[in-house]
């Protein structure tokens, strides 16, 4: 979150997402979380806050099915740094969204991201896409 109370999202693989990545060898979860946000968005995290939740999702890597556990944290960013998407990671856009204007995210994101947004009370069950 920035000082204006806006939330940071990335656009990768034709979906809105939250910055995340892999933990490097000998790296702590919290260190990895801050590093990934800074690398993927080109910003400086000023403060790591409390953990929001953990989510799990499955993806395919070189023909293998991988179960990924992601730890989500609240973070603060001071100032108005120019956002810079990490193109080599397939990120084509990085953008701040006001809490009241996250409809594009809700309409085009992953179920695990909706879980995080729900935990943060940025969406309610009424706003989640209908299944079936």
Collect all residues with Cβ–Cβ distance below 8 Å to 95 and sequence separation of at least 6.
Answer: 8, 9, 11, 83
- In-domain check, residue 120: yes
Mean pLDDT of 15-40: 95
Q: How many domains does the chain have?
A: 1
Look at the block and give the residue holding tokens 């956002």: 83
Start-to-end CA span in the chain (Å)? 34
Mean pLDDT of 94-99: 94
State the CATH number of the domain containing residue 110. Answer: 3.90.79.10
Per-residue pLDDT, 1: 85
Mean pLDDT of 16-45: 95
Tell me the pTM.
0.86
Q: Name the helix (H) or strand (E) containing 11.
A: strand 7-12
Query: Cα 26 to the chain's mean position, in Å?
Result: 23
Strands (E), 37-99: 47-61, 64-76, 91-97
Query: How far is it, in rounded angstroms, from Cα 129 to Cα 107?
Result: 7
- In-domain check, residue 1: no
> Which residues form the domain of 63?
7-127
């Amino acid at each position: 979150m920035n000082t204006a109370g806006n939330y940071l999202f990335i656009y990768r693989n034709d979906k809105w997402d939250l910055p995340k990545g892999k933990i490097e060898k000998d790296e702590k979860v919290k260190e990895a979380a801050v590093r990934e946000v800074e690398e993927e968005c080109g910003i400086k995290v000023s403060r790591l806050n409390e953990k929001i939740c953990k989510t799990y999702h499955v993806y395919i890597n070189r023909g293998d099915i991988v179960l990924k556990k992601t730890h989500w944290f609240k973070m603060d960013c001071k100032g108005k740094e120019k956002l810079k998407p990490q193109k080599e990671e397939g990120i084509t856009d990085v953008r701040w969204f006001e809490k009241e204007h996250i409809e594009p995210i809700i309409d085009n994101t992953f179920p695990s991201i909706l879980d995080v947004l729900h935990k943060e009370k940025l969406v309610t069950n009424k706003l989640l896409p209908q299944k079936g």
